[in-house]
């Protein structure tokens, strides 16, 4: 039986008190010494469970930060099913009471698990964006989180962290930097307040409370991060040149990002901000603003007839018992108004599948393989990696643009 699909929907076990306390102590010590983590828990003095804690998600360290901020409350974290596939890690996650969630698709099992946990007085930890931010600003949050919170009817806590993206940017391929992290926890809604609000009102309040931009915080704090960062990996996010408009264009060169067409260049400084090179013009001083411009340009292309948009790619798959992806084929990936499609070969045989916008609300950027994670069927995870890394975010942007178009919505917030 697939280890991910079995025994889902019941109440998760309570995290082991001794192991949880040890993990919080040693991980918290590590965070304070290495990343200079500072906690502000003044907003949750005397807090008792059950609670649901919602946090912004800007690094893979956010689970540790949230656990430290809410201790001595022990949290049942919601975690993507991808991490349960590894034999040992999956067992550890279950032992610590984590709740598996199929990423960006409806999952009644995870909802039932949350409801059962709350009924038993347990505490739940969720990152509503569903993935680590690419650029350092809040990504899309699905309205369904408002419905879940309404159903739970328990105290809602917001855990907000700054400095986490600049310490561990997703695009940096695992490199980390030392500066400062600041985390705060505060009550947003009591059960009494929830009872008088609609699910939509709750969602809007959550979205506002979780709104986050690392670079707005950095302009105020001016925290130095060391060592000096290189731009390798940043071209996966900032692929289009703002000077000449070429796409794809930007390539890393040490701490610089350089257009291979016109030579326009910017460099990363000690604050993680962008600065002009050799006195040139600075169009954007941070990845958030640059990517928002790219997203707007992608929308113009789509509306002008860019679909279908196709690029050669590699195909990867997950294997139960192992962590990560295994190369299994190649072919062509295509974006259109229906979603994202693959056609090619898998292990020497013809193979094709689609991620349709009506079934999957978002796509995941995987810097480990330079690809896009896609859930096919109940439990099959594949990833498509375009041969040119700089095409990855354009495919994700096209997918979200098509989704907004199908729902008849005004241009939505870019996935950031």
**Tens digit of each residue's pLDDT (9 = 90 or more) over 32-42:** 999 999 999 99
Give 79-105 pLDDT, tens digit per residue. 998 888 888 888 899 999 999 998 898
With 0-12 / 13-18 / 19 or more C-beta atoms within 10 angstroms meaning exposed / middle / buried, residue 243 is: middle
Mean pLDDT of 398-403: 95
DSSP annotation of 366: E
Q: Is 214 left (phi over 0), alpha (psi -120 to 50) or beta?
A: alpha
User: With contact defined as beta carbons under 8 Å apart, do 331 and 343 qualify?
Assistant: yes
The reply to whether domains 17-221 and 309-406 share a CATH topology is no
Q: What is the pLDDT of residue 414?
A: 60
Mean pLDDT of 395-408: 90
pTM confidence score? 0.92
Mean pLDDT of 373-400: 90
| Domain spanning 309-406: CATH 1.20.1250.20 | no
C-alpha distances in Å from residue 205, one per residue of 129, 145, 157, 198: 15, 11, 12, 11
Mean pLDDT of 3-18: 74
The 3-state DSSP class for residue 56 equals coil
Can you point out the beta strands (E) in 5-92? 37-43, 51-55, 75-80
User: With contact defined as beta carbons under 8 Å apart, do 231 and 246 qualify?
Assistant: no
Confidence of residue 379 (pLDDT cuts 50, 70, 90): low
pLDDT above 90 coverage of the chain, percent: 81
Query: Which residue shows structure tokens 């946090």?
Result: 55
- Residue 5: pLDDT over 60: no
Q: What is the pLDDT of residue 227?
A: 86
C-alpha distances in Å from residue 22, one per residue of 19, 71, 96, 131, 183: 5, 11, 12, 26, 20
**To the nearest whole number, what is the mean pLDDT of the chain?**
92
Q: Where are the domains of the chain?
A: 17-221, 239-303, 309-406
Residue 415: alpha-carbon gap to chain centroid:
9
User: With contact defined as beta carbons under 8 Å apart, do 137 and 212 qualify?
Assistant: yes
Report residue 25 as tokens: 């102590």
Report residue 331 as tokens: 């072919």
DSSP annotation of 44: T
Report residue 177 as tokens: 């930097």
Confidence of residue 2 (pLDDT cuts 50, 70, 90): very low
Start-to-end CA span in the chain (Å): 36
Give 269-320 pLDDT, tens digit per residue. 999 999 999 888 999 999 999 999 999 999 999 999 999 999 999 999 988 7
Which CATH number is associated with domain 17-221? 3.40.1130.10
User: With contact defined as beta carbons under 8 Å apart, do 141 and 204 qualify?
Assistant: no
**Cα–Cα distance, 3 to 87 (Å, whole number):** 8
Mean pLDDT of 165-185: 94
């Amino acid at each position: 039986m697939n280890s991910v699909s079995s025994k889902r929907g019941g109440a998760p076990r309570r995290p082991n008190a001794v192991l949880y306390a040890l993990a919080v102590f040693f991980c918290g010590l590590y965070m304070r010494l290495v990343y200079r983590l500072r906690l502000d828990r003044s907003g949750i003095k005397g807090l008792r469970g059950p609670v649901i804690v919602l946090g912004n998600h800007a690094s893979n360290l956010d689970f540790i930060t949230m656990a430290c901020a809410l201790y001595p409350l022990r949290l049942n974290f919601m975690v993507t099913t991808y991490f349960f596939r590894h034999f040992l890690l999956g067992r550890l996650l279950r032992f610590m009471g984590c709740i598996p969630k199929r990423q960006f698709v409806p999952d009644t099992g995870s909802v039932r698990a949350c409801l059962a946990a709350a009924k038993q007085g347990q505490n739940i930890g969720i990152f509503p964006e569903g993935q680590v931010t690419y650029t350092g600003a809040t990504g899309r949050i699905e309205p369904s989180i408002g419905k879940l919170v309404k159903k739970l009817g328990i105290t809602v806590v917001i855990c907000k962290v700054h400095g986490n993206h600049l310490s561990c940017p997703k695009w940096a391929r695992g490199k980390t930097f030392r500066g400062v992290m600041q985390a705060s926890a505060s009550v947003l809604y009591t059960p009494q307040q929830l009872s008088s609000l609609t699910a939509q009102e709750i969602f809007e309040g959550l979205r506002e409370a979780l709104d986050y931009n690392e670079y707005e915080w950095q302009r105020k704090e001016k925290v130095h991060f060391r060592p000096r960062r290189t731009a390798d990996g940043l071209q996966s996010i900032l692929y289009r040149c703002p000077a000449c408009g070429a796409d794809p264009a930007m390539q890393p060169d040490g701490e610089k990002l350089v257009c291979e067409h016109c030579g326009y260049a910017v460099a990363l400084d000690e604050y993680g901000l962008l600065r002009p090179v050799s006195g040139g013009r600075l169009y954007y001083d941070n990845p958030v603003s640059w990517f928002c411009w790219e997203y707007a340009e992608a929308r113009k292309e789509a509306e002008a007839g860019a679909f279908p948009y196709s690029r050669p790619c590699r195909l990867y798959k997950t294997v139960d018992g192992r962590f990560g992806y295994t190369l299994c084929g190649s072919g062509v990936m295509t974006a259109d108004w229906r979603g994202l499609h693959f056609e090619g070969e898998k292990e020497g045989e013809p193979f094709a599948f689609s991620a349709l916008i009506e079934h999957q609300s978002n796509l995941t950027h995987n810097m480990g393989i330079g690809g896009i994670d896609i859930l096919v069927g109940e439990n099959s995870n594949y990833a498509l990696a375009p041969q040119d890394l700089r095409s990855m975010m354009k495919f994700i942007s096209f997918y979200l643009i098509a989704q907004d178009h199908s729902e008849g919505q005004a241009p939505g917030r870019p996935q950031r």
